[in-house]
A and B are shown apart, each in its own frame.
Chain A
């Protein structure tokens, strides 16, 4: 009986060459598929779920971040292609966001490299996750609950009025973005791009959960091009983050990324179909709860006294 269990357990074990641990093949495929399903359902990259899950399953934080970034390249390629065919990608805006993202990603990779050296990478990654997941989750939950309540009350949800002006329109270096029907300064998209690039490189996320609200509320882009343009620029920023992590930190595990991508691409397609059956507000409320859940889980790990106060890091390993 016990021997049988042991063989079953070791049957699907696969050794990861960079993480230098043995993981269960089916678990990693399943993790990729589950995160892909969620990202397809909610139209988000899913990196903010994948990277924490990898860290919780014993992959060293820096390797989880680099490999997570690589996985998002794959899922955002198929996502972009689908959006592209519907004409939902603003190339001009994408290019400006990518320009900012390149600078941000470089800073993020160097920051992670420095923090790894002083042994604080895990802590700062976790804290940043808690802050971002907590904030975004709360805001989304607030917004979607209000939307659901308004619907119950029978009121119509007010859509964005095109051509509304805000402080963004007072800035210099104005550019024309035909697809988005905007004539605004290049500075806000550059700054947003840089911030998202920094997050992508530092947290192993695509940054869609920051990018999409920023595009809607700060840049005032039409909603139909927001998701397409966001996911388009995510390809380039996460690809750069992958390359920089691989080159400077040696933390990319291609084998792990491959398993996650395979699961993710398949899971994503089913997620899209499942998502179409749910209402937008309910979908957002559900996603908000999940985002908050992951944030709380990471926070608990930081606050609860660890079982072992000591930890060891071999220099040659991850």
Chain B
């Protein structure tokens, strides 16, 4: 049985390696990789390279899977490896507003605009990230919601910080920001998988996927990939028309309404 598992693992690893060479990047400039100490390489890919938003779209789960080559862990339980997967959507300008009470009515008061906030951000890891490596390393790699840079100076200002934490909290409520400490699951010695749920309100654009391999707290290897989230079919046609031919789009809206009204009258008139 043990042999079968190893054989399968090797086969799968080989298949992944053969299929996904393109996903691998040159070793990073690497503030933390100690040369010569690790030969491990992480390979990973995404189940879906293109997410199509159609009229029946109600969210989708994507699978990030990969393997560690030249793993020297002898048993699954002995694993000294940790994997962190990062999924980041395109940056967007996001405005946070705070309501205040004016004459008994709650109105939008102060606001803060974050020009470069990621529209989607998910951190998945095999263990809590702070247990995997040092805060400096996480900071250097920009891993974790607390390490996000929104393109706005907020340090030291408590009011600014309350806006920033509100932004993170509201994005988490919308399932657009998430941290999952057990999101990466090892299968056997060197295979791992991670699932990320993209909700129905997922922003469109190019998503960056990064997978980091840590060994005993040090970054051993990393790989990058990407996926596209696009509106397709009718959704794309309507969206493009609305934003590129708005006058025509408005006329179309009126025409549909007039036609529907006309048909309703014909169908139901009683004379």
Taking A15-B200, A22-B200 as contacts, is the C-beta distance between A312 and B170 under 8 angstroms? yes
Given A76-B261, A243-B254, check contact A20 B108 (CB 8 Å): no
Q: Closest CB of chain B to A36's CB: distance in Å? A: 9
| Contact among B56, B57, B96, B242 for A311, CB-based, below 8 A | B96
Does A246 sit within 8 A of B, measured CB to CB? Answer: yes
The stretch among A191-199, A218-226, A301-309 that forms the contact with chain B is: A301-309
List chain B residues, Cβ under 8 A from A308: 170
Is B58 interfacial (CB 8 A cutoff)? yes
Specify which chain B residues have a CB less than 8 angstroms from the CB of A315 in the assembled complex: 92-95
Nearest residue, chain B, Cβ from A18: B242
Chain A residues contacting B100 (CB-CB under 8 Å) are 309
Docked Cα-Cα span, A71 to B262, in Å, equals: 13
In the complex, whether A171 has a CB less than 8 A from a CB of chain B is no
- Chain B, residue nearest A76 (CB): B261
- Contacts A119-B108, A311-B97 given: A70-B238 contact, CB under 8 Å? no
Q: Which residues, 114 to 170 on A, are CB-close (under 8 Å) to B?
A: 119-120, 122-123, 127
Q: Do A82 and B261 touch (CB < 8 A)?
A: no
A314:B94 contact, CB within 8 angstroms: yes
- CB <8 Å contact, B171 and A82: no
Indicate if A73 sits at the interface (CB-CB under 8 A): yes
Min C-beta distance of A31 to chain B, whole Å: 16
A269 to B267 alpha-carbon distance, docked (Å): 10
Most chain B Cβ neighbours within 10 Å, of A74, A75, A76, A247 = A74
With A123-B108, A257-B256 given, is the CB distance from A310 to B96 under 8 Å?
yes
A282 interfacial by beta-carbon distance below 8 Å: no
| B95 lies within 8 A of A303 (CB) | no
Q: Are A254 and B253 in contact (CB under 8 A)?
A: yes
Q: Say whether A210 faces chain B, with CB atoms less than 8 Å apart.
A: no
Return chain A residues, CB-CB under 8 Å to B57.
Answer: 15, 22
* Chain B residues within an 8 Å CB radius of A57: none
Write out the residue numbers on chain A whose beta carbons fall within 8 Å of the beta carbon of B243: 250
A122: chain B residues at CB < 8 Å are: 108
Across-interface contacts of B93 in A (CB, < 8 A): 314-316
Contact residues in B for A203 (Cβ distance below 8 Å): none
Nearest residue (CB) in B for A122 is B108
Q: Given A119-B111, A265-B263, A314-B119 in contact, is the A247-B250 Cβ separation under 8 Å?
A: yes
Q: Contacting A265 at CB < 8 Å: which of B53, B163, B260?
A: B260
* B21, CB-defined interface residue at 8 Å: no
Are the C-beta atoms of A243 and B250 separated by less than 8 Å? yes
Asked whether any CB of chain A lies closer than 8 Å to the CB of B257, the reply is yes
A13-B56, A255-B55, A310-B166 known; A302 vs B256 contact (CB < 8 Å): no
Considering the complex of A and B, which 5 residue pairs feature the smallest CB-CB distances, nearest first? A77-B261, A246-B250, A265-B264, A74-B257, A22-B200
Given A13-B56, A17-B242, A242-B253, 6 other A-B residues pairs in contact with their CB atoms under 8 A: A13-B58, A21-B200, A70-B253, A77-B257, A123-B107, A312-B167
Q: What are 17 A-B pairs with beta-carbon distances under 8 A?
A: A18-B239, A21-B201, A22-B201, A73-B254, A76-B261, A85-B271, A250-B246, A254-B242, A254-B252, A257-B257, A265-B264, A269-B268, A305-B106, A310-B98, A311-B108, A312-B167, A313-B95
List residues of chain A with CB under 8 Å of any chain B CB. 10, 13-15, 17-18, 20-22, 70-71, 73-79, 81-82, 85, 119-120, 122-123, 127, 235, 239, 242-248, 250, 252, 254-255, 257-258, 261-262, 265-266, 268-269, 302-306, 308-317
